Amino acid sequence: MDNEKHNVNAYFQDEENIEEFEEYSADEEELHAEAEDLDGAYDEFGGDEYPEDILGPDPETDEPRIEIIVDPLISKAYAASEFLRGVMLRMGLSGRIATTIRHGAIYLEITGAEPGLVIGHRGQNLDALQHLVNRMVNKQSQDIVSVTVDSDEYRSRRHNQLEQMVRTIANEVMGNGVPVVTEPLTPSERRLFHIAADQLKGVHTESFGSGFFQPIKVSSAGVHPREAAHYRSHEYRNPYSRDDH
Amino acid sequence: MKDLVEAIVKSIVDHPDQVVVNEVSGEMTTIIELRVAPADMGKVIGRQGRTAKAIRTILNAAGMRASRRMEFEIVNAAEDYE
């Protein structure tokens, strides 16, 4: 420190250097003035107002205020459950609707209402409710979100039932080679059926007919039962399977 | 039953203010008549009549609970002027 002070003193002792220093201070004053101008500009811009992304208190009452922004999916899920609630109440049903969002899709699970009435024959009432909720949620929006309505785990029970059906029919078909036709199934049921059948090598499944409900014809893929058993074993990998990669 | 159909239809159409529902109750059967803006006819009927069918299914389920037979009809607004 002492050394530095000494240097500074030496600096001022030189007259030329003093002149230079005075010039420098003049520059600094100009700079300072400029900075003050900027401050003024900032005050004009800022003042009592807040930058765009901060709302600030209510200009009239000076009450603090908070804006809440919610993912559109959450508000859609809420609207869907409110709609389903309104429909169920007007059907004279009491119960509970659990609303969840899984993998970008909305799930409404009804419990505690009369399951027989909510689900209906082969899930037709449940499918009708689901269709109407989907129409309501996707009424005027560009991004279509899928809503699943379930009651007392009907969907997963039906899924297990379809998989069991695939196994039973596949065994029968591969045993005697005679094709079997299923009961008429809805599009989503057919999808689950085909997926389950694809995993059992050795059967060929095909929907036929037209309309909403279509039966599926299950036939042998043209292999000997023993060969089919080999295809079903873990040693075999289907070279044409699309889910290998 | 009338408010059930009204609640469903008003939520799925573009002109909820033009939704008119009439209920005619007989001894055993209730007939629900629905009128909507011509532009909303497609929305109420749906692809291959799926939406109309879904409304009918829900109505039948609600009717079963009240032990009534339900009939659902969508009235074409153009027919009213004939």
Angle (CA) A92-A98-A102 rounded to 5° is 140
Task: Choose, out of B14, B57, B64, the residue to mutate when testing the contact with A (most A CBs < 10 Å).
Answer: B57
What are the residues of chain B with a beta carbon less than 8 Å away from any beta carbon of chain A?
3-4, 7-8, 11-12, 14, 43, 46, 48, 50-51, 53-55, 57-58, 61-62, 64-66
Higher pLDDT, A107 or A1: A107
Contact criterion met (CB < 8 Å) for B61 and A136:
no
* Minimum mean pLDDT range among A26-30, A40-44, A97-101, A156-160: A40-44
Q: In what order do the strands lie in the sheet with A216-220?
A: A180-181, A216-220, A203-207
Q: What sign has the CA pseudo-torsion A155, B46, A132, B79?
A: negative
Torsion angle of the four alpha carbons B38, B44, B46, B48, in this order, in degrees rounded to the nearest 10: -90
SS3 B68: coil
Instruction: Spell out a b/e string for B12-44, using b for 16 or more CB atoms within 10 Å of the CB, else e.
Output: bbeeeeebebeeeeeeeebebbbbbbeebbebb
* Chain B contact for A129 (CB, 8 A cutoff): yes
Interface of A with B in 165-224 (CB under 8 A): 211-212
Higher pLDDT, A209 or B61: B61
3-state percent helix, strand, coil for chain B, nearest multiple of 5: 55, 25, 20
pTM of the model as a whole: 0.71
Strands (E), A78-199: 96-102, 105-111, 147-151, 180-181
B61 neighbourhood in chain A, CB within 8 Å: 91, 117, 120, 125, 128
pLDDT for A202: 78
What value does the mean pLDDT of chain A take? 79
SS3 A106: strand
Q: Examine the pLDDT at B71 and tell me if it is beyond 80.
A: yes
Contact criterion met (CB < 8 Å) for B12 and A136:
yes
**Rounded distance between C-alpha atoms, residue A59 and residue A220, angstroms:** 76
Q: Could you read off the pLDDT of A121-177 as tens digits, one per residue?
A: 999 999 999 999 999 999 877 789 999 999 999 999 999 999 999 999 998 888 887
Given the cut 0.85, state whether the ipTM is greater than it.
yes
**Closest listed residue to residue B5, CA positions, set B51, B65, B66, B67:** B51
A134 neighbourhood in chain B, CB within 8 Å: none
**Closest listed residue to residue B12, CA positions, set B57, B58, B45, B43:** B43
pLDDT for A213: 87
Contact B61, A126 (CB under 8 A): no
Task: Choose, out of B8, B15, B40, B55, the residue to mutate when testing the contact with A (most A CBs < 10 Å).
Answer: B8
pLDDT for A65: 86
Both tokens assigned to B4 = 């059930």
